[in-house]
Amino acid sequence: MTNLSYRLREGAYTTLRPTLSPPAPRTIGVVSYNIQSAIATSRYRHYLTRGWRHVLPDRQRRANLERIGEWLAPFDLAGLQEVDAGSFRTGFMNQVEQLAYKADFPYWYIQTNRDMGRLAQQSNGLLARYRPTAIREHRLPGLIPGRGALQIRFGTGEQALNVIQLHMALSRRTRLKQMAFLADLVNAHRHVIVMGDLNCRSDSEEIAWLGRRTALSEPIHGLHTFPSWRPRRSLDHILISTTLQVERARVLDYPLSDHLPIAMELGLPEAVELPAA
């Protein structure tokens, strides 16, 4: 298994050499999950009783991560938020690399957005079963640094599939600025998947704004992911361009975070190619 990790300078592309591949699948499984660094907040009281796990190591975290890896195994693409790139609180274990190993993903990528040295390495991650042709990191606008988007491209030219995974700000004003930045990214491509913890509901002003300025849509509304023990808010989203088709969409009952994962099976146009490993 080949594991690849990229830490790119802001706005830079890394282009990978294309490889010969068999015909691409017409349907892919996509999942987005804010794993909260695998500390397993599964009740409101855990924000208090397990809050120390945000900064200190604990034995249960590795077992939680192993279970998350088992759950991710059936998917083709997995976007992850609040993963740790390897610090004191995780026993200096890169959580994205560990999940890729557990779920047998040949490619994994990590973007560290909030570097607190040895204490914590707050990051976004993406796992893929197909070889990307380009990878790009973006820093999202905001007064407080620490939010980013990870853009992965599969294939080349107009028929390339672009996947953007991100974690947006808590402030609505800042999210609107980040949506404007995201719209520019999306409008440069034809086939796009945007997924992540957007910190706003399906019926929010921010999602509506993005829909008016791009060809993106949220095909199924009301998929509640937060809080995991009593989901009432749709904070996690998978948005797709009109060229893609939803075969199935659901929230998964994987309560090892304060969020639940959201998953979709997406039909691809015939012209889209996903290079194999």
Euclidean distance between CA atoms 123 and 116, whole angstroms = 11
pLDDT at 15: 42
Specify whether domain 26-267 bears CATH 3.60.10.10: yes
Q: How confident is the model at residue 13 (pLDDT cuts 50, 70, 90)?
A: very low
- pLDDT mean across residues, the chain: 86
Question: pLDDT tens, 19-28?
Answer: 444 455 689 9
pLDDT tens digits, residue range 203-224? 999 999 999 999 999 988 889 9
Percent of the chain at pLDDT exceeding 90: 66
Sketch the domain layout of the chain as residue ranges: 26-267
Higher pLDDT: 34 or 142? It is: 34
- Maximum Cα interatomic distance, the chain, rounded to a whole number of Å: 52
Local confidence band at 155 (pLDDT 50, 70, 90 cut-offs): very high
pTM of the predicted structure, to 2 decimals: 0.87
**pLDDT on residue 52:** 44
Model confidence pLDDT, tens digit, residues 236-267: 999 999 999 999 999 999 988 999 999 999 99
Q: What's the confidence (pLDDT) of residue 247?
A: 94
HEC string of the chain equals: CCCCCCCCCCCCEEECCCCCCCCCCCEEEEEEEECHHHCCCCCCCHHHHCHHHHCCCCCHHHHHHHHHHHHHCCCCEEEEEEEECCCHHHCCCCHHHHHHHHHCCCEEEEEEEEECCCCCEEEEEEEECECCCEEEEEECCCCCCCCEEEEEEECCHHHCEEEEEEECCCCHHHHHHHHHHHHHHHCCCCEEEEEEECCCCCCCHHHHHHHHHCCEECCCCCCCCECCCCCCECCEEEEEECCCEEEEEEECCCCCCCCCCEEEEEECCCCCCCCEC
pLDDT of residue 12 exceeding 60, the answer is no
- Mean pLDDT confidence for 181-200: 97
